[in-house]
A and B are shown apart, each in its own frame.
Chain A
Amino acid sequence: MALLRKSIVSTLLALVASVALADVSLLNASYDVARDVYKDYNPLFLKYWKAKSGETLELKQSHGGSSKQVRAVADGLEADVVTMNQANDIEYLADKGLVAKDWAKKFPNNASPYTSAMVFIVRKGNPKAIKDWSDIAAPGVQMIIPHPKNTGNGRNTYLSAWAWALRQPGGNDKSAQEFLGKLLKNAPLFAAGGRDATTTFMQRRMGDVLITFESEAEMIAKEFGRGEFEVVYPSLTLQTEFPVALVEKVVDKKGTRTQAKAYLDYLWSKEGQENAAQNYLRPRDPELLKKYANFFPPVKTFTVEEVFGSANKAFATHFKDGGSFDQIYQSK
């Protein structure tokens, strides 16, 4: 009996202790490859917050596929903030009432503290002379991308090519879909995810061009050496955003609104922006963009809103079942 009582008491104590810890701990649910950015960002913020408020925070990270993370938050993962790589993932949380409906207006720049762009990675010397999207759709060229329907990286590629085709002389939805059909014929496979596509292209030497985030190119250089590949900027490509939001329900429940908001605000500070730049993500701060100009050559980009209206609309038209991607793969 004594033993039982003891174990109950210690269990309760442990519970109390964990609750006490949770008072000053923030959980950031983030997309998969954001690990490096936030690993570097968190110590910066801790230091800043300690100096400002004297409070010692505990910052926890949870990483996974963007949509998987969002489903986890919707199912009860108590994340104070979400930092994602697709707006429609945050829209889903807004629909569920976890995030403010006008989340994109709660922070500057569409609530995206940094951006990237979809670029081409080609073999050294660019043997197939790939300069623009039309060159990839040419016969005999092989393109490596992750699954356009199931991965954010693949969707961004698809939308980039679609927008480019729209902006060609006489371009319309029909000609864009035809172009995408030609382009996708040159995909010998759809990789499981962004990193899998990189491995397939760099290590297994499949394909002539890999399409991925500009930020990924530096990862490739670190991993495989700079002498192995070249980066090609197409004439038009998608500016990819990385939206962030407060999870209202969770911060209200945990009483962490102030800290969580500060955590996100600080992403726009000089330190936060510089950290993004050092992780090869384009900072919003024009001065820093200039300072790191050798990482970020000028490129003509468009946003999803400009061409497709909204992230949700783009998703519904192209990637839902029966959308433009599925239509391309219907046998006639």
Chain B
Amino acid sequence: MAAKTHRVLPGFGLALGYTLVYLSILILLPLGGMVLKASELGFGQIIDIALGERSLAAFRVTFGASFLAAAINAFFGLIVAWVLVRYPFPGKRFIDALVDLPFALPTAVAGITLATLYAGNGWLGQYLEPLGIKVAYTPLGIVVALTFVTLPFVVRTLQPVIEDIETELEEAAASLGASRWQTFVKVIFPAIFPALLTGFALAFARAVGEYGSVIFIAGNLPLISEITPLLIISKLEQYDVLGATALAVVMLALSFILLLAVNVLQWWTANRHKNSEPLEVTAAKAGGVSA
């Protein structure tokens, strides 16, 4: 580094060193150990384990259900966050606190509760099953459990960002003649989209690794409703630690690629947004189009 940048607060070196050590001990070390263990198997063997019929089906169920759950939460979580930030109403603090509950509840408790609710004689299941909608012990049940567990990620990521959007921007857009839809699509949505993506990615990543809540509602039928973490446990039950790590490594790699893709998308949209024009101009343009 040629030019010494001036910082108001000292301690950059110390903090960076601390960060690296902390992350290494907490994340890199265990993950490295896992990859090392899996490398006792050849690459071909790992691929064979990952491409088995059961494994493939489980990957489909795990990633598919996680994607759906994250998408559902991106939509409804956005509405919840918006309501919680923008509108005053009685009991708001209470509702706000409810959002965090899925974090606090042991996931097995969540799974058992959901299974009881959605079973054929449950409070919700008794009305759904006559309509032909089976939730408990089907892949749909997995989506429900994952949606429950990952709700806070989207809401809590979006809230501060929505708080930062000044209502003046919306007023400006409106006064310049933008319709409500245009205000949302051209002014508000671009501002919150990066945070929405982050929330989606966090929810997705959490869902992929979820085990405790899912196994109680999934039904766990081979090729239909087995999730990858269950297959990993199944291998551990056979004392096949190597096979279990192989599956885990493949799962980790897939998750990493997907999260990386989300990050790139986020970086790209944020950059495009930054390079194009300030919000006010977008607002004016939005108004101009409709005029």
Name A91's closest neighbour in chain B (CB-CB).
B239
Pairwise interchain contact A203-B116, C-beta atoms closer than 8 A: yes
The 10 closest A-B pairs by CB, nearest first: A189-B219, A204-B119, A329-B222, A189-B137, A190-B220, A192-B215, A205-B121, A150-B234, A150-B237, A67-B237
Residues of B within 8 A of A203 (CB): 116
The answer, yes or no, to whether A199 is at the interface (CB within 8 Å) is yes
The answer, yes or no, to whether B28 is at the interface (CB within 8 Å) is no
Contact with B along A301-332 (1 / 0, CB 8 A): 00000000000000100011100001001110
Contact with B along A124-163 (1 / 0, CB 8 A): 0000000000000000000000010110000000000000
Pairwise interchain contact B215-A330, C-beta atoms closer than 8 A: no
Contact with A along B214-237 (1 / 0, CB 8 A): 011011111101000010011111
> In the complex, what's the smallest C-beta–C-beta distance from A62 to chain B, in angstroms?
18
> In the complex, what's the smallest C-beta–C-beta distance from A206 to chain B, in angstroms?
6
Given contacts A319-B238, A320-B238, A321-B235, contact A330 B53 (CB under 8 A): yes
Pairwise interchain contact A150-B230, C-beta atoms closer than 8 A: yes
> In the complex, what's the smallest C-beta–C-beta distance from B109 to chain A, in angstroms?
13
> In the complex, what's the smallest C-beta–C-beta distance from A197 to chain B, in angstroms?
11
> In the complex, what's the smallest C-beta–C-beta distance from A176 to chain B, in angstroms?
19
A147-B220, A196-B216, A204-B119 are known; give 8 further A-B pairs, CB within 8 A: A71-B236, A189-B218, A189-B225, A196-B112, A200-B119, A203-B116, A204-B115, A331-B223
Residues of A within 8 A of B235 (CB): 321
Residues of B within 8 A of A319 (CB): 238
Given contacts A204-B122, A205-B121, A206-B120, contact A189 B220 (CB under 8 A): yes
Bound-state Cα–Cα, A24 to B274, Å? 70
Bound-state Cα–Cα, A192 to B219, Å? 8
Pairwise interchain contact B112-A199, C-beta atoms closer than 8 A: yes
> In the complex, what's the smallest C-beta–C-beta distance from B188 to chain A, in angstroms?
43
> In the complex, what's the smallest C-beta–C-beta distance from A224 to chain B, in angstroms?
14
Residues of B within 8 A of A199 (CB): 112, 116
Residues of B within 8 A of A295 (CB): none
Pairwise interchain contact A71-B239, C-beta atoms closer than 8 A: yes
Bound-state Cα–Cα, A150 to B235, Å? 8
Name A323's closest neighbour in chain B (CB-CB).
B238
Interface size on A, residues (CB 8 A): 28
Q: List 30 A-B contacts (CB under 8 A).
A: A68-B236, A71-B239, A92-B239, A150-B237, A188-B137, A188-B219, A189-B219, A189-B221, A189-B225, A190-B219, A190-B220, A192-B215, A192-B216, A196-B112, A204-B115, A204-B121, A204-B136, A205-B119, A205-B120, A206-B119, A206-B137, A319-B238, A320-B238, A321-B52, A321-B238, A321-B243, A326-B54, A329-B222, A329-B223, A331-B53
Bound-state Cα–Cα, A3 to B101, Å? 42
Given contacts A189-B137, A196-B216, A320-B238, contact A204 B221 (CB under 8 A): no
Residues of B within 8 A of A187 (CB): 221
User: Which A residues are closer than 8 A to B by beta carbons?
Assistant: 67-68, 71, 92, 147, 149-150, 187-192, 196, 199-200, 203-206, 315, 319-321, 326, 329-331
Interface size on B, residues (CB 8 A): 31
The answer, yes or no, to whether B240 is at the interface (CB within 8 Å) is yes
Residues of B within 8 A of A196 (CB): 112, 216
Residues of B within 8 A of A326 (CB): 54, 222
Name A328's closest neighbour in chain B (CB-CB).
B222
Residues of B within 8 A of A147 (CB): 220, 234
Name A96's closest neighbour in chain B (CB-CB).
B239
Residues of B within 8 A of A321 (CB): 52, 235, 238, 240, 243
Name A74's closest neighbour in chain B (CB-CB).
B239
Pairwise interchain contact A329-B119, C-beta atoms closer than 8 A: no
Which residues, 12 to 70 on B, are CB-close (under 8 Å) to A? Answer: 52-54
Pairwise interchain contact B54-A329, C-beta atoms closer than 8 A: yes
Residues of B within 8 A of A92 (CB): 239
> In the complex, what's the smallest C-beta–C-beta distance from B162 to chain A, in angstroms?
39
Contact with A along B175-193 (1 / 0, CB 8 A): 0000000000000000000
> In the complex, what's the smallest C-beta–C-beta distance from A153 to chain B, in angstroms?
12
Pairwise interchain contact B120-A190, C-beta atoms closer than 8 A: no
Bound-state Cα–Cα, A315 to B237, Å? 11
